[in-house]
Structure formats: C-alpha cells, structure tokens
C-alpha cells in the first residue's frame, strides 16, 4: 500500500484549472485597471469638477465647507446600492470573500462583480480613507467565481478560481505577485496544496505581468538604500517597533468594531449608516485634508522620511478615527493602504527616538509590522513591504518586527479585523494550519489484534456452542472476519448474521469486506469510512495475500485523536542532567 501513497494528492486535473486561472489572472488585471480608473474619475469629478481618470489626491481641492457634503453624498448612494442591490458590497471585501469560500460554496453573485468595484470607487473617489485592495480582492474573486460557475467544477475548484481572481487583482494593483499568493494562502485558501497553490500563483504572475503593460512597473514606493545589517541595537529596536505596531493593530481593530457596535444601537436602518460615516469623513477631511482618499502620495513621503510631525500626528489621530468610524458604518473600501499609512506614521514617531538607520527605515519596518499584526498574516506583511519597495536589505528587520507584532496580537486578540466580521455572522474561523494527526498516525498503531475470527467452514452447531461459551464470539465485537484455513480473509459477517445462522442452521452468508492495510494513514481510512458509510474494517497484510492481521474501527480513530491531544498538552522532562557527586575531602 505504501507504494500508492505520495507526498501530494494532486491529479492532472490541476493542469486544466491552471489554464483557467491564467485567463482569470489576465481578466483580473484589467478589472484592477478599471477600478483604479474609476477611483481617479470619481475623485476628479467630485472634488475638482473635471473629467479625468488620473489618480489624484482630494487634499488639493478648493471646495471649502462644501467638502463635507461630498463623502456624505457618496455614502448615501452606497447605502442605496447595498440595500437594493446586494448587501455583500458592504465592508472591506476580504471577509466577504472568506464567507463566500467557506459558506457559499465559492459562489458569488454576478451583480456583486459590478456593484462592488462601483461602490468602492465611489466611496474612495468621494474621499473615503480606504484602499483599493479589499474591493479588488472581492471583485477579482467575483469574476473568478463567475467564470468558474460557467463550467462543471467541484466546490474546491471554484474556490481555487475565485482565489485566483482575488490574487490576480491584488497583484495587478500593487505589483506584488508573491505577497498576493501568500495572502491567498494565509487568508483565503485554507490549505497548502499544489492543486490550489499552482493555479493561484500562475494567475498572480499573469496579472503582475499584464500590469507592466497596462498600468506600469513597480516599485510602487521607491525608498532610499538601507544598510544590509543594523546591529544588535537596531534589531532590539525592531522588536520594540513590532510590539508598538501590535498595540496599534489591537487598538484599530477594537475601534472598528466599537464603531460598528455603536451604529447597531441607532434606531435607523443600516442603509443610512454610511452617510453618518461619510459625515465623519467630511469633517475629518476639513480638519486634515491628507486623511481623504487612498493616500499613496503620503505613504511615499513617509518612506522618504520627508514628513513633518504635524502630518504624522494628523494621520494617527484623524485618519485612524475617520477610517474606523466609516468602516464600522458598513461603507465599501479596503484596509491595506490605510494600515500602511498609519504604520508609516507610527514609524515616523519612532524614528525620533530609535537609532538612525537611513531615511524612511523605521516607517517601512512599522508598515510591515502593522500589516502582519492587524491582518494576522506575517509572511504577507514581510513580502508585501519588500515588493512595494524592492529593498531586499529590509528582510531581516521586517521579519523580526512583523513576527513581534503578530505574536502580540495573537496573544491579546481572539480574532483579527478580518475574521471578527465573519465570527459576528455566526461562523468560527480557525487561522492555524497544521498536519492532520490522522495523516501521521497509521493503522498498525491503533488496530486491535485481539479479535475473534470465524472459520469459513464453521458449522451451525459449533457456532451455537461458541455463542454459548463466548470463546469465539465476543460481546464487544460487532463485525467478524470470515477466514480460510490459512487466515486469508474471505469476507465479513455481523453478529446478527451469526445468531441467525446458529439458530436456523442455514448457510452462513458472509459479505464482501472493505479492508484497511497496516501501513495506511488513518486519514485514508477516515475518508474510506465516509465514502462507504461503514465504521469497521478488517485489516489485512496486503492486497495480494489478504491475511487477517487485525481490526480498525471509528473508535480507534477517535483514540488516535485523543493521543494527539495528549501529546500537545502533556508536559514532561525527557532529558535529566545528573551532576556527579563532589569528591570528598580526604580526612586529615
């Protein structure tokens, strides 16, 4: 049996799905372009009164007090679209994609593919302090799901193509194909298998390659050169930066859901909540104009180390406040770009006290850390920061800071800003990935060998005597292997079959046996039980000889799971060090 087991379970079907994923990656690149153009168009129309799709900041507008009404107007339209179009366009996109994968069979309604980018572009274009990544993840996923639904596919295959569209959209938006794949693995796929990883990676590569022709080449945020190694003091400072970012991540997460809870207390329909959030955006923008919109130019300035203290404080106070309020109101927009800005501002404060390692060093470290801490996706945080800047020298500081932030938030918050929304809808989501214990335990380790077997030539009288004396037939055994003279398995019989045979004296009719093998992982046996509906299998040595060696039942699989839990919880000292007795001083 061991010759049939391999490291992976992929089949040639993966090639077909990969081909479809490549096409979806190409489509998602143009979807990303369309979303960016829509954001630019709405920003120019609402704040400058001109017809242009160029990405600009709303901060330079001359609307004065009228600026307050722009986000409110956009939010009112979004509320109507959500109520009468699809409620799925509310929020920042990633939780909705997660819910579609886990609960909806990876099916997303076609209207979401239209309404989500339109509502997100309207939200950001009217000053919303959001990023485009969450909406493009949802929109790319929606297009991937739509294409998948046109073909006869399994739910897992639809999931792969949905995530391929999401990863492709993010790769095209940020020129970050590796981080897009990691985000897909850490947040959307819920597995690490070639059958899904290969198509998603190909879609991401395709979208990133297409971006170079239709949007442009990265890096999105070029930075000055930073040192290869920063020394012990710098590394210790990275830990401190990570812990501070973890603290800010926790505060931002709590603020978003505190705002959502506050909106739930209002005696009005949720359709009107975004308008209230829009009012907060307008007031915040009037106080601090740089808080409006995506803020890519502000992020770039932070990474160049050219931002005054006033701007840093404005980001940490005003930007974070209006972002939490508006996101809690249920409007449409992403979280990555705001987190980058707020992380960069925190790093700007820290740069005043920490060792100088080059312009923009600590803002970049803090950006990666706050991504890893808030989204609970540490590898995505590290690689995303590297791909945005192309500064490979930052790998070690980023890894240390992001890991510290991740450790802080997993110990202080039960759920992330992404999974809390899913949990509030009644679904628990585990973000831990591990090898199934049934994969590394084998039948030979749990099978029972002290079992009763029935000889194929047993007479009814002999069986009746065995039932009376209980020598052959055991009370705790429900399935009995029927064997020939050489202990080869012939079939199986239930206890009821044996009792009927002993009573009536008719021919003992045995059934064909579904068997297990000693070298099979318990996962394979569990799947076989699920497929057949049977809960007990005879165990034979191999397919050719079929000599009976034992029995395995569902209860044995549960004992194996208990054994795994004991190994996880039981603490013991394995190695003990015994110091030799000190030599006695000679007696004088």
The CATH number assigned to the domain holding 118 equals 1.10.3080.10
Which residue in 524, 519, 521, 525 sits closest to 541, CA to CA? 519
Mean pLDDT of the region 134-151: 81
Mean pLDDT for 203-207 is 95
Please check whether residue 1 lies inside any domain of the structure. Answer: no
Across residues 261-271, what is the average pLDDT?
Answer: 92
Task: Answer yes or no: is pLDDT of 354 > 70.
Answer: yes
> What pLDDT digit, counting tens, does each position of 551-571 carry?
999 888 888 778 777 777 777
Higher pLDDT, 582 or 240: 240
Mean pLDDT, the chain, integer = 85
Q: Tell whether the model's pLDDT for residue 341 goes beyond 70.
A: yes
In this structure, the answer to whether residues 486 and 420 fall within a common structural domain is: no
Asked whether the beta carbons of 182 and 197 are under 8 A apart, the reply is no
Specify whether 451 is located in the same domain as 405.
no
Residues 417 and 525 in one domain: no
For residues 444 and 369, membership in a common domain is answered with no
Q: Is position 582 within any domain?
A: no
pLDDT at 508: 66
pLDDT per residue as tens digits for the range 369-397: 999 888 888 999 999 999 999 999 999 99
Q: Does one domain contain both 409 and 478? A: no
Question: In which band, very low, low, confident or very high, does the pLDDT at 180 lie, cut at 50, 70 and 90?
Answer: very high
Question: How many distinct structural domains can be found in the chain?
Answer: 2
Categorize the per-residue pLDDT at 203 as very low, low, confident or very high, splitting at 50, 70 and 90.
Answer: very high
Cβ neighbours around 583 below 10 Å, total: 6
Compute the distance between CA of residue 359 and CA of residue 352 in angstroms, rounded to an integer: 11
Evaluate the CA torsion angle 238, 244, 248, 254 in order and state its sign. positive
Whether 587 is covered by a domain: the verdict is no
Based on the domain organization, do 328 and 468 belong to the same domain? no
| Pair 18, 85 in one domain | yes
pLDDT band of residue 582 (cuts 50, 70, 90) is: low
469: left (phi over 0), alpha (psi -120 to 50) or beta: alpha
Q: Is pLDDT above 90 for 22?
A: yes
Higher pLDDT, 381 or 112: 381
> Residue 211 — pLDDT band, cuts 50, 70, 90?
very high
Reported as type and span, the H/E element at residue 516 is none
How far from 53 is each of 30, 38, 304, CA to CA, in Å?
15, 7, 26
pLDDT score at 460: 65
Average pLDDT over residues 432-452: 83
Categorize the per-residue pLDDT at 278 as very low, low, confident or very high, splitting at 50, 70 and 90: very high
Q: What is the pLDDT of residue 420?
A: 79
Q: Is residue 572 very low, low, confident or very high in pLDDT (cuts 50, 70, 90)?
A: confident
| Same-domain check for residues 391 and 529 | no
Same domain, 266 and 141: yes
At 76 the pLDDT is 93
- pLDDT recorded at residue 561: 76
At 319 the pLDDT is 92
How far apart are the C-alpha atoms of 126 and 297, rounded to whole Å?
A: 17
Percent of the chain with pLDDT over 70: 91
CATH code for the domain in which residue 457 is found: 3.10.580.10
Mean pLDDT is lowest, of 140-154, 303-317, 503-517, for 503-517
Whats the size of the chain, residue-wise?
588
Where in the sequence is the domain holding 45, given as residue range(s)?
Answer: 13-424
Position 575 in a domain: no
- Structural contact between residues 425 and 99, judged by C-beta atoms closer than 8 angstroms: yes
Report cis status (omega within 30 of 0) of the bond before 40: no
Does position 183 have pLDDT exceeding 80, yes or no? yes
Average pLDDT over residues 543-551: 88
Tell me which of 162 and 419 has the higher pLDDT. 162
Highest mean pLDDT among 152-161, 188-197, 310-319, 422-431: 310-319
Task: Please tell me whether residue 311 adopts helix, strand or coil conformation.
Answer: helix
Predicted local distance difference test score (pLDDT) of residue 468: 56
Same structural domain for residues 50 and 111?
Answer: yes
Q: What pLDDT is stored for residue 587 in this prediction? A: 52
3-state helix, strand, coil in the chain (%, to 5): 65, 5, 30
What percent of the chain stands above pLDDT 90?
Answer: 35
The per-residue pLDDT for 322 is 92
Can you name the residues that pair with 326 across neighbouring β-strands? none
Q: Are residues 253 and 380 in the same domain?
A: yes
Of 389, 424, 459, at which residue does a domain stop? 424
In a domain? residue 3: no
Looking at the domain assignment, is residue 576 inside a domain?
Answer: no
Looking at residue 409, what is its pLDDT?
A: 93
DSSP-assigned beta bridge partners for residue 492: 481, 511
Is 230 inside a domain boundary? yes
Per-residue pLDDT at 432 exceeds 80: no
Residue 455 clears pLDDT 90, i.e. is over it: no
Q: How confident is the model at residue 271 (pLDDT cuts 50, 70, 90)?
A: very high
pLDDT of residue 570: 73
- The reported pLDDT for the residue numbered 351 is 93
Confidence of residue 336 (pLDDT cuts 50, 70, 90): confident
- The answer as to whether 581 is a domain residue is no
Poorest-confidence range of 11-25, 37-51, 253-267, 449-463? 449-463
pLDDT digits (tens, 9 = 90+) for 229-241: 899 999 999 999 9
pLDDT at 282 exceeding the cut of 80: yes
Per mean pLDDT, which range of 173-177, 253-257, 421-425, 552-556 is the poorest?
421-425
pLDDT of residue 119: 86
- Residues 415 and 503 grouped into a single domain: no
Pairing of strands 454-455, 479-483: parallel
What is the model's pLDDT at position 474? 53
pLDDT above 80: residue 436:
no
pLDDT of 347 higher than 90: yes
pLDDT of residue 494: 80
The CA distance from 460 to 462, in Å, is 6
């Amino acid at each position: 049996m061991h010759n049939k087991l391999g490291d992976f379970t992929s089949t040639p079907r993966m090639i077909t799905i990969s081909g479809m994923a490549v096409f979806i990656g190409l489509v998602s690149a143009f979807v990303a372009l369309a979303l960016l153009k829509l954001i630019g168009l709405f920003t120019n129309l609402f704040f400058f009164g001109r017809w242009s799709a160029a990405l600009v900041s709303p901060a330079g507008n001359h609307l004065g007090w009228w600026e307050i009404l722009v986000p409110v107007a956009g939010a009112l339209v979004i509320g109507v679209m959500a109520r009468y179009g699809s409620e799925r366009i509310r929020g920042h996109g990633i939780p909705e994609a997660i819910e579609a994968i886990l609960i909806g069979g990876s099916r997303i309604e076609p209207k979401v593919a239209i309404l989500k980018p339109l509502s997100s572009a309207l939200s950001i274009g009217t000053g919303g302090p959001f990023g485009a990544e969450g909406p493009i993840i949802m929109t790319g996923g929606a297009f991937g799901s739509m294409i998948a639904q046109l073909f006869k596919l399994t739910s897992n295959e639809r999931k792969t193509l949905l995530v391929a569209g999401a990863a492709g959209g993010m790769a095209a938006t940020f020129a970050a194909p590796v981080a897009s794949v990691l985000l897909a693995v850490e947040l959307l796929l819920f597995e690490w298998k070639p059958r899904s990883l290969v198509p998603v990676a190909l879609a991401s590569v395709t979208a990133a390659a297409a971006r170079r022709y239709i949007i442009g080449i990265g890096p999105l945020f070029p930075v000055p050169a930073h040192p290869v190694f920063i020394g012990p003091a710098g590394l210790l400072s990275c830990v401190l930066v990570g812990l501070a970012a973890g603290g800010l991540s926790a505060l931002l997460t709590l603020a978003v859901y505190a705002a959502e809870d506050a909106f739930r207390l209002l005696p009005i329909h949720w359709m009107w909540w975004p308008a209230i959030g829009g009012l907060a955006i307008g007031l915040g923008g009037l106080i601090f104009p740089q808080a409006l919109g995506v803020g890519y130019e502000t992020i770039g300035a932070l990474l160049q180390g050219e931002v005054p203290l006033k701007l840093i404080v404005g980001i940490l106070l005003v930007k974070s406040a209006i972002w939490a309020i508006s996101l809690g109101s249920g409007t449409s927009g992403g979280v990555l770009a705001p987190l980058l800005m707020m992380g960069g501002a925190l790093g700007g404060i820290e740069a005043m006290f920490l060792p100088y390692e080059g312009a923009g060093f600590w803002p970049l470290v803090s950006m990666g850390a706050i991504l890893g801490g808030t989204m609970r996706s540490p590898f995505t945080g590290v690689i995303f920061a590297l791909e945005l800047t192309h500064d490979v020298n930052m790998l070690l500081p980023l890894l240390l800071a992001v890991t510290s932030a991740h450790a802080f938030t997993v110990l202080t918050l039960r759920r992330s800003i992404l999974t809390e929304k899913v949990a509030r809808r009644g679904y628990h989501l585990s973000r831990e990935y591990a090898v199934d214990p049934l994969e590394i335990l084998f039948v030979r380790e749990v099978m029972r060998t002290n079992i009763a077997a029935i000889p194929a030539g047993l007479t009814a009288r002999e069986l009746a005597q065995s039932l009376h004396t209980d020598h052959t037939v055991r009370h705790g055994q429900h399935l009995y292997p029927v064997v020939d003279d050489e202990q080869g398995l012939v079939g199986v019989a239930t206890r009821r079959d044996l009792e009927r045979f002993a009573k009536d004296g008719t021919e003992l009719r045995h059934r064909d046996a579904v068997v297990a093998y000693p070298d099979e992982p318990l996962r394979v046996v569990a799947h076989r039980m699920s497929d057949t509906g049977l809960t007990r299998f005879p165990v034979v040595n191999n397919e050719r000889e079929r000599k009976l060696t034992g029995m395995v039942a569902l209860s044995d699989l549960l004992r194996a799971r208990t054994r795994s839990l004991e190994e996880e919880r039981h603490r013991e000292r394995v190695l003990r060090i015994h110091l030799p007795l000190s030599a006695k001083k000679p007696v004088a």
